[in-house]
A and B are shown apart, each in its own frame.
Chain A
């Protein structure tokens, strides 16, 4: 009975404790760690023996806000020359977190792969093959051959980065695999670059 008389005291102690713990924290700034703000395609011309010649030209797609309503990305036009062979390497960057995502993709090579679609690879305009130095089929580095007599000088190159796909899916070894969705996973990047061939 003694305990029962003390009950109101316990009740109020519990109550006070409950209410004290019940205030929200001050909000903290959260940097989007996963956002990709800059994608750079670097083109280095190769000679007939496959050695690099000349300077590297790069073309960039950027969206400094990441995924944010009201802004849209700026995408540069890629300029290439007829009949030339290039090494096309891709660099992916998060300017918000100042993080090199290329490295992360390389580290998770078994979960990522680039695919290249668009009119640039239809008809006789250009061809692309995976040429990753790491030996893993990723698409961070590729060999691009521009036809010496393309039917048009305006085309589009759609660069897609897939995450979490089944890399052994039949057809997935083709960089121009149009049914890439069937290999599962989801899209991390989907950028269409205009291409002008001179």
Chain B
């Protein structure tokens, strides 16, 4: 027995040895002849892209293996891979990635280059712990997209949405004092951009220059800015860009995490507290929830030489969501509540033109205020409720049906300084209801195609609450917008192509009383919009995007119907109900280079807008018993916006890192050959960060020194109340410390903005006529995750 065994193994060994020699011989022969055969036919290339089936995010480090040739490749950070030197023939290809179903596919290679996209499905929900990709992209588009998340978002905590987004190149703010700021993308704001709160388009009274977006930045774990015209995907008005404010996705397995933010600021003695809790059910698999809330209180803001009277604010926000997801069905319910009270600089409220001229000449407020948290008139009290239900159902592996319904109620009260009992009554009291319904069918085929077909309904009702004692600025109205769209995307290796088409129809019925007379208007608008874009990965480090998109925006209610005095602004504004829709064509190009040391993102764009609506001074004045007022009217002209954004960073060493962000915008009135007002001037933010933690974890301690340079706006409109303020430079200092306490993490941040207490005025601040901007501000930020 033993003998036999020995013999057998000996024989086997001999056989193996013989085989071994044969292989070497074969290889030698192969090497000798391979050069020739290579030149003949074995020069085929297989390129491809590996994506997540669920969200089309690229998968890095997936393993692609050809069984027959025993060659393989690993996908790069964009999900791309390349296998060279293949002979024509039929191959079996397997794609493997942790936690995902293996793909096994037969491919017949004939042509020179074969391009194949593989979409991988997650293995099963109960795996739970598969969180390999750190950051999910909020949207799949070939337009320029930039997101604020993780550490960058952490550093922006305590700021309003508008202020936070200034961290993205090409995004600035249009502000009214230091409490109200609206994001500006490529020179466009208000109704020309769109903000989505967890997928629902935020519908407040966004036409107003002094109406800040009604959203709590703390509800987001990621804020994304799309810089292209995205009307096809999101509906009318998304002309300049879209801002997506997205909460984290709900857990689908047992998991609990809590995050607490505690912030304080020296300027305005601001205090801000926020908490969120995320949980997954143990009993019901796939059930998860999130609760989140924040409180903010701040008093009068301090400019270097004086305190700005009545510039305090308070904010109370809450949001909650609960969701269930199984293999086929996903359901989510979400509710968010936003509540703010904002003080408006006392001296900015002027009675007539001579008041206005006097304060502009003075260059600073007349009132010498003390610090207080008290908010007096003029002020705004704004409430916003948003509720949504979202559901998706996988019809089969390729098709997914989505349904989303959103309900919003926006209540806005604006109080002016008034006589007697009227002082306690709002002079503007609006209630806006919005219903949105989205039904769309997504398909993600295993091969190169994906896309969606959708139907979108927006219904809106605006009412003035009677009893203000002021003729309403805008009428009561009902609006209905119906849209249908199709978007299709083609992926082939390093190339992505995307196109879409949409048709919208809108009706608008308005009614109001002016001097005892009932005025009614029924208006209709319709429009086609389309886009086409592409992305090409020149190499794993280098990508180029280009996107053409048309967009449209029907005139706003204020542009149509304004008629009378804009209280506090000493201006009479006249609308025009015969105005037509704006139509734009935006071309955005992006170049992205990412290597170990260098990161560069360059965006260049051109936007032509037909019938751009703007408020223009008539040069006339209007005399009343109250004094004289400037008269402005809404006009339409063709406009051309162009410019570029640059953002980049360079890693000098493991500990030293430099960054640079900048943007340049030009906006011309093509009809008149002059410039539009309130377009951001050229600006740049650059700095250096130095890590000085222990060698094992150098990033635990970091200092950042930043410098913001803003040029004077030299391209001013023909008429302005005051010339553009001079250029300014600000220095900012930050210190970040990360502490790992067992499983939990504590982040400590100290930030000093405007270190040298420089007095400056920002061109994009409407209150530059009345006051300097905020002086030095020291912030302390604590964040605890457990």
Contacts and interface: CB of A to CB of B under 8 A. Distances in A.
Nearest to B460: A22
Given A18-B405, A24-B462, A27-B518, 10 more contacts: A14-B405, A22-B461, A24-B477, A30-B513, A69-B572, A73-B624, A181-B366, A186-B350, A186-B417, A188-B419
Contacts of A65: 515
B349 interface: yes
25 contacts: A11-B403, A14-B407, A15-B435, A15-B437, A22-B434, A22-B459, A22-B460, A24-B476, A25-B476, A27-B464, A27-B472, A27-B476, A28-B466, A30-B513, A36-B626, A107-B420, A181-B355, A181-B362, A183-B366, A184-B347, A184-B365, A187-B350, A187-B354, A187-B355, A189-B626
B702 to A, nearest CB: 46
Nearest to A39: B625
B648 interface: no
B164 to A, nearest CB: 31
A186 B348 CA distance: 10
Contacts of B420: 104, 107-108
B463 A25 contact: yes
B359 interface: yes
Contact of A24 (B346, B405, B422, B461): B461
Given A104-B420, A181-B359, A18 B625 contact: no
B352 interface: yes
User: Top 5 closest A-B pairs, CB basis?
Assistant: A33-B469, A187-B351, A190-B627, A186-B351, A25-B463
A30 B471 contact: yes
Interface string A63-87: 1011111001100000000000000
Interface of A: 4, 7, 11, 14-15, 18-19, 21-34, 36-37, 39, 61-63, 65-69, 72-73, 101, 104-105, 107-108, 163-164, 166, 181-184, 186-191
Nearest to A21: B433
A189 B389 CA distance: 53
Nearest to B365: A184
Contact of A191 (B359, B515, B565, B625): B625
Given A22-B433, A24-B463, A190 B469 contact: no
Contacts of A14: 389, 405, 407
Nearest to B628: A190
A188 B417 CA distance: 11
Interface of B: 324, 329, 331, 346-347, 349-352, 354-355, 358-359, 362, 365-367, 389, 391, 403, 405, 407, 417-420, 422, 433-435, 437, 459-464, 466, 468-472, 475-478, 511-513, 515-516, 518, 563-565, 572, 574, 622-628, 631
A183 B564 CA distance: 28
A112 B602 CA distance: 57
Given A33-B469, A184-B367, A26 B476 contact: yes
Given A4-B329, A29-B513, A30-B466, A190 B419 contact: no
A184 B366 contact: yes
A30 B318 CA distance: 35
A11 to B, nearest CB: 6
Given A24-B461, A188-B626, A101 B435 contact: no
Contacts of A32: 469-471
A150 B512 CA distance: 53
Contact of A67 (B433, B434, B460, B626): B626
Contacts of A29: 513, 516
Contacts of A18: 405, 407, 435
A168 to B, nearest CB: 12
Contacts of A39: 625
A176 B366 CA distance: 19
A187 B355 CA distance: 7
A140 to B, nearest CB: 14
A83 B367 CA distance: 40
Q: Which of A11, A32, A67, A191 has the most CB of B within 10 A?
A: A67
Given A18-B435, A68-B564, A164 B355 contact: no
B511 A27 contact: yes
Q: Which of A36, A164, A189 has the most CB of B within 10 A?
A: A164
Contacts of B437: 15
B352 A187 contact: yes
Contact of B564 (A15, A21, A67): A67
Contacts of B565: 67
B471 A184 contact: no
